[in-house]
Amino acid sequence: MQDEVFQKRIKIAIVIFAAVSAFTGFYSGAVDSVIANYFKDAYDVTAQQRGFIEVPRELPGVVSLFVITAFSFLRDIRTAIVAQVFGVVGLVVLGVFHPSYGIMLVFLFIFSLGLHMFMPLYDSIGLSLATRDNMGRILGMFNSSRMAFGMVAGIICFFGFRSGFFHFNTPVTIFLISAGCFLACAALLFAMHAQIGAEVESRSEPSKMIFRKEYIRYYILCALFGGRKQIMYVFSPWVLIALLGFTADKMSIIGVIGSFIGIFFVPFIGKMIDRMGSRKVMLVEAACFVAIYVAYGFLSKGVNENTLVVTGVGMFFVYVLIISDRMSAQFYMVRSIYMKSIAITEEDVTPSLSAGMAIDHVLAIVGASLCGIVWDAWGPEWVFIIAGILSAANFIVAFGIKKDAVIDKTAV
């Protein structure tokens, strides 16, 4: 009887967490759609400065490992509520004031800390609601909800900036709307904790900071993904903004299209992970993105040297390229599920995801800063050559995973 009651609570918690995913998708979609234009329009940054901005923006990915550990006595759900509070504080200051460049970086760090604290907690909480044979499907469902509302955010940004209702003068309305979504997430997580928090948390110990040699391949995969991912986040859109003159409304519509495709693409990835295993999905991912970054190298070199004019059909292929590149971010869950599948104990999952994210972000910070210098010194194509090399290395490491290392088996 008690088991039946708990299962009903789990079902309610799944619905609540799907709503959390929706609000997460909205604020992520809104901010991601316009943040590069915010740096360009409000602060007129160069490519090298744009790379440097990734230090305070991505450093929280490393710091969050220690912050999550410090808050481990609260356990996952309540720590996730703390993460939403950081997000609110950072966005409200950025949205209400027009701080100096230096102060902007401080509150960008605080906002980003909230985002990055929530990333491993999001996966850990989502996986706690799944069984071992449906982890891909459950995470795919949550991420599909996130993508759907990211698309809604992109549509709102497109019409808001196209009409002039949204702008980067204070107050930055879209930042304040996103701050409201952080608050909504906090309220929903509080309700979720009331449903299942006590039962779930009583089954495990508080998370501790751990690094195990058994997880070395997972850490390497995170490092390679971090370097490549940051090139995608920073320099793929920078080709469009700095070289092709895309404005915030155009960047928003790219986000809308990407999110729409992601609604169907993310559950598909989840099902493929459950069916094929992490190894094969990571191999497909790496091979695809080697090709994408080769194409990006040719595009950026041609536009930068004025040997390629992008119009008509050519512009269509640019959209295909940037949207395909954005899909790479959706593969992150394959690493989370791989980590869950090789975990020695359940208590290892959250701290290992946090450690993986910290490693990911160390490479992201170094990669973004160095690639900003590479862009200015040797040309944008070399940035994408580096991304292609990282994707190839990802393929090699994933190929070395034991062929029987699927969801219900442990192997490294």
At 201 the pLDDT is: 56
Which range in 20-29, 71-80, 397-406 is most confidently predicted, on average pLDDT? 20-29
Q: At what angle do helices 216-238 and 332-342 cross, to 10 degrees?
A: 170
pLDDT tens-digit readout, 114-141: 888 888 788 778 777 766 666 667 777 7
At 409 the pLDDT is: 40
Q: Is residue 409 part of a domain?
A: no
Please report, for the domain that includes residue 310, its CATH number: 1.20.1250.20
Residue 187: pLDDT above 50? yes
Domain that includes residue 222, residue range: 2-399
* Residues 56/207, Cβ–Cβ less than 8 Å: no
Give 305's DSSP letter: T
pLDDT tens-digit readout, 323-361: 777 776 667 677 877 887 777 777 777 777 777 777 877
Q: Is residue 168 part of a domain?
A: yes
- 85 pLDDT band, cuts 50/70/90, is very high
Q: Is residue 412 part of a domain?
A: no
Q: Is residue 315 part of a domain?
A: yes
Q: At what angle do helices 60-70 and 349-378 cross, to 10 degrees?
A: 160
Structure tokens at 270: 């989840």
d(CA 67, CA 302): 44
d(CA 332, CA 318): 24
Q: Is residue 410 part of a domain?
A: no
Report yes or no on whether pTM surpasses 0.85.
no
Q: What is the mean pLDDT of the chain?
A: 78
Structure tokens at 5: 């009651």
Residue corresponding to tokens 């090139």: 231
Residue type at 258? G
Q: Is residue 7 part of a domain?
A: yes
Q: How many domains does the chain have?
A: 1
Mean pLDDT of the region 91-118: 87
At 412 the pLDDT is: 38
Q: Is residue 185 part of a domain?
A: yes
Q: Would you tell me how many other CB atoms lie within 10 Å of the CB of residue 404?
A: 10
Q: Residues 384, 329, 337, CA angle at the centre, nearest 5°?
A: 130
Choose the weakest-confidence range: 194-198, 233-237, 331-335.
Answer: 194-198
Q: Would you tell me how many other CB atoms lie within 10 Å of the CB of residue 171?
A: 14
At 407 the pLDDT is: 40
CA 397 vs. chain centroid, Å, equals 22
* Residues 27/182, Cβ–Cβ less than 8 Å: yes
Q: Is residue 408 part of a domain?
A: no
Burial of 247 (0-12, 13-18, 19+ CB in 10 A): middle
At 406 the pLDDT is: 43
At 75 the pLDDT is: 78
d(CA 245, CA 67): 39
Q: Could you tell me the end-to-end alpha-carbon distance of the chain, in angstroms, rounded to an integer?
A: 39
Structure tokens at 229: 């991912």
